[in-house]
Structure 1
Amino acid sequence: MAIDLQRFTREFEELIECESPSSDPASLVRSANLLSRIGTELLGVAPRIVTVEGCPHVLWRFGDGPRRVVLIGHHDTVWPLGTIRRLPFSDVEGIIRGPGADDMKGGVLVALYALAALQARGALLDGVSLLVTGDEELGSLTSRPLIEAEAEGARAALVFESGGGDGAVKIARKGVAIYELEVRGRASHAGVEPEKGINATTEVAHQVLKIAQMGDAKAGTSVVPTVLHSGTTSNTVPALAKVGIDSRATNVTEQLRVDAALRSLTPVHPSARLLLRGGINRAPLEPRQSMGLYGRAQRIAGRLGHPPLRSIAVGGGSDGNFTAGIGTPTLDGLGTVGGGSHADSEHAVKTWIPRRVELVRDLVGELILD
């Protein structure tokens, strides 16, 4: 059965125009309710809206038994309220634009339409879950337990972040670790008695240089000092400094190496103190966890007459890192094909939408029959 692309586009517009910044609970509630309505009309089944610490996550769960396939997306975006006035929805020459077009309101619709297409073929969806979270852009702090609970023991987790520009799916993502290093010194008057102070700015500068050397480009590991705050006034020896640290790695061994190195930092000034907060947020999605599903998806794409399905590895994390981290085979990048996530150029290419729906329809169909 062919996808109703006109209806898909209309609902895509509704979702984009329903702005849903991650940090705005009221907007997320409106978005969750809209998504619930659209999905209920497509699937004939209402979801459960699971609200955790004020954040609404939308869950369709078919059957009561073990999970076979879990589809994962998110309805929050990085865009602040009012962006839609500056970047309105548009559908021009086969390109859909607007905040969330690529990341990832279209991907959520791909998942819904694929499941509806399976139902139209008479397939039973017992053992299938579709979870659309509301805080992915903030690190999935309230949704991670839900994601892991649904995916635990499943045959596959399919993630609907956008695909590569040529339709490639994502078979690897770096693991993510986020830290903050706090340096505690001692204040004194910078002009009258600077020798009585312990300069937190000087100390944090030493530590930043150490941190910047912890990466390993050959191993694909980055360790980047980011936001830095230090001092209070220009005539005071700074007593406190803080620096953020973003680390990405392709494997757990490298994540643990960096974590140990950061925790072994020692102050240059003997009376300064260091306090490290944070840690590993997401384990890597490694190719070995995706290759089985990728090979299956390649075969399906060929059978459907699609362009050859390619794969890419990316540095950014997604909820697929969590499902891979608990041992569930995971394939990412099954959403819309376009580009410009988090940028004014964000867009989705319409010609890829039916292909993606067909691919996911048949991939889920095979997985629930295995």
Structure 2
Amino acid sequence: MITTDRHRILEIFKNLVKIDALSCNEKPVADFVREFLKGKSVTVTEDNSGKETGSNTGNIIIKRGTGGKFMLTAHMDTARTTENITVVVDEGTGKIHTDGRTILGADNRQGMATILYLIELAENNPEIEDFTAVFFTCEETTLGGSKNLEVPAWVEAGIVFDSSHLPGKFVYRAPGSKTFTLEILGRASHSGIAPEKGINAIGIAAASIARLKQGRLDDDTTMNIGIIEGGTATNVVPEKVKIVGEVRSFKPQRLEEELERVLNTFEEEVKTAGAAITKAIYEDFTPYELSPDHLAYQLAYNAIRATNMEPQPVISFGGSDANSLNGLGIPSVNLGIGAQNPHANDEFVMWEDMVTTANIGLNIVRKK
């Protein structure tokens, strides 16, 4: 009978969050993983994704035995620094947080701690089947690590330990997203002496935005303009303005429709004003939806049930490494681990949720 050591999981987690590693600088975490796994019956490799992401390390791939049919994943970077972190554990409530000066880094060092603990638990344990683990780079910025993963040939499904939902929930459906960056070029002129000679780029942007509906467009689709940069002085008709926004949708066709609506609106206003525009489109992540017959869905569902919980498949409007993996042809879900208030200084996780996540993970890798 395998039992979960709550103190060991916490110890691994606390060691991980002490490592300050933002996106593209995950090498200290990768080095920690290699040291942690020394002497264990696994094969550790690093892929070549760093050439694409710009990170100082590639993704770390860990193969137990044959590698099995599925992989457990988490990402090595944090959204903000954990430098000089002080971890506080409230023994009464079980709440794990910081002293408020930094984030906790549970997103996603808790996912990493769970997987490393499972690898440690699996050592010389005949009750646990072979599996693969992958630790990604650059999740917080571009999902670059998972997008550029050199997928192990034997893997058929992925379980991502990275959802802020509580244990018991898992994300089986998530939207795709595309970012648009537009630059409008008007004409500068003195705003007091000769405003007629200018073409106001900010004015064009304002007219375009005023015509566009933003926010939740329907049950499946959102659009947001989040960045506007332009102008040089109050007495100069602004020559340039940069606009950055995104469209998200569960349905690829709706995503393309709304993106086209945005671009057409800006182009019409630019043409009317006699200005010029440049456009750049970047695919942030692809949408996915798994049915109950997929292996990843079944692994998560059955493991949660085996942990004496009611499985709750949920949808999310956020993107994760699960989007990338599905886009690469590896059906994957994102498991709730209970890391709450991610990216904020009041980020926390309950110790009990940490243990429950480990138990769900154990039921995923336990021989059936």
What amino acid is aligned across from residue 321 of structure 1 in structure 2? N
What amino acid is aligned across from residue 257 of structure 1 in structure 2? E
Superposed CA RMSD in Å reads 2.8
Q: Secondary structure at the match of 1:78?
A: coil
Runs of 5+ in structure 2 lacking a partner?
none
Q: Indicate which of 95, 107, 110 corresponds to 1:103.
A: 107
223-232 vs 265-274, which moves further: 265-274
1:313 CA displacement: 1.7
Question: Does the CA contact (< 8 Å) of 2:17 and 2:82 recur in 1?
Answer: no
State the partner residue of 1:257: 257
State how far apart, in whole Å, the 2-side matches of 1:105 and 1:322 are: 19
1:103 CA displacement: 0.5
What amino acid is aligned across from residue 246 of structure 1 in structure 2? E
With over 3 angstroms needed to count, the CA separation of the structure-2 counterparts of 1:364 and 1:207, relative to structure 1, is farther
Question: Does the CA contact (< 8 Å) of 1:57 and 1:132 recur in 2?
Answer: no
Runs of 5+ in structure 1 lacking a partner?
none
Q: Secondary structure at the match of 1:138?
A: coil
Q: Is 1:353 matched with 2:347? A: no
Residue-by-residue CA offset, 1:311-344 (whole Å, 9 max, x unaligned): 322211001001122332211125x324111112
With over 3 angstroms needed to count, the CA separation of the structure-2 counterparts of 1:138 and 1:303, relative to structure 1, is closer
Question: Does the CA contact (< 8 Å) of 2:59 and 2:145 recur in 1?
Answer: no
1:159 CA displacement: 0.4
Q: Indicate which of 44, 48, 51 corresponds to 1:47.
A: 44
Q: Secondary structure at the match of 1:56?
A: coil
With over 3 angstroms needed to count, the CA separation of the structure-2 counterparts of 1:142 and 1:59, relative to structure 1, is closer
What amino acid is aligned across from residue 306 of structure 2 in structure 1? R
State the partner residue of 1:121: 125
With over 3 angstroms needed to count, the CA separation of the structure-2 counterparts of 1:144 and 1:152, relative to structure 1, is farther
Question: Does the CA contact (< 8 Å) of 1:152 and 1:328 recur in 2?
Answer: no
Question: Does the CA contact (< 8 Å) of 1:75 and 1:104 recur in 2?
Answer: yes
State the partner residue of 1:197: 198
Question: Does the CA contact (< 8 Å) of 1:22 and 1:137 recur in 2?
Answer: yes
Q: Secondary structure at the match of 1:237?
A: coil
State the partner residue of 1:134: 137
1:289 CA displacement: 7.7
Q: Is 1:320 matched with 2:322? A: yes
Q: Secondary structure at the match of 2:61?
A: strand
State how far apart, in whole Å, the 1-side matches of 2:244 and 2:293 are: 31
Q: Secondary structure at the match of 1:114?
A: helix
Q: Secondary structure at the match of 1:31?
A: helix
Question: Does the CA contact (< 8 Å) of 1:39 and 1:46 recur in 2?
Answer: no
State how far apart, in whole Å, the 2-side matches of 1:153 and 1:186 are: 58
State how far apart, in whole Å, the 2-side matches of 1:356 and 1:223 are: 33
State the partner residue of 2:8: 7
- TM (norm. structure 2) is 0.85
> Normalized per residue, which structure has more helix?
1
What amino acid is aligned across from residue 114 of structure 1 in structure 2? L
State how far apart, in whole Å, the 2-side matches of 1:365 and 1:254 are: 41
State the partner residue of 1:236: 236
Q: Indicate which of 145, 148, 155 corresponds to 2:148.
A: 145
Question: Does the CA contact (< 8 Å) of 1:90 and 1:96 recur in 2?
Answer: yes
State the partner residue of 1:227: 227
1:202 CA displacement: 0.6
- TM (norm. structure 1) is 0.85
State the number of aligned residues: 354
Where in structure 1 do 4 or more consecutive aligned residues deviate above 4 Å?
Answer: 63-67, 123-126, 289-292
With over 3 angstroms needed to count, the CA separation of the structure-2 counterparts of 1:204 and 1:44, relative to structure 1, is same
State how far apart, in whole Å, the 2-side matches of 1:215 and 1:4 are: 45
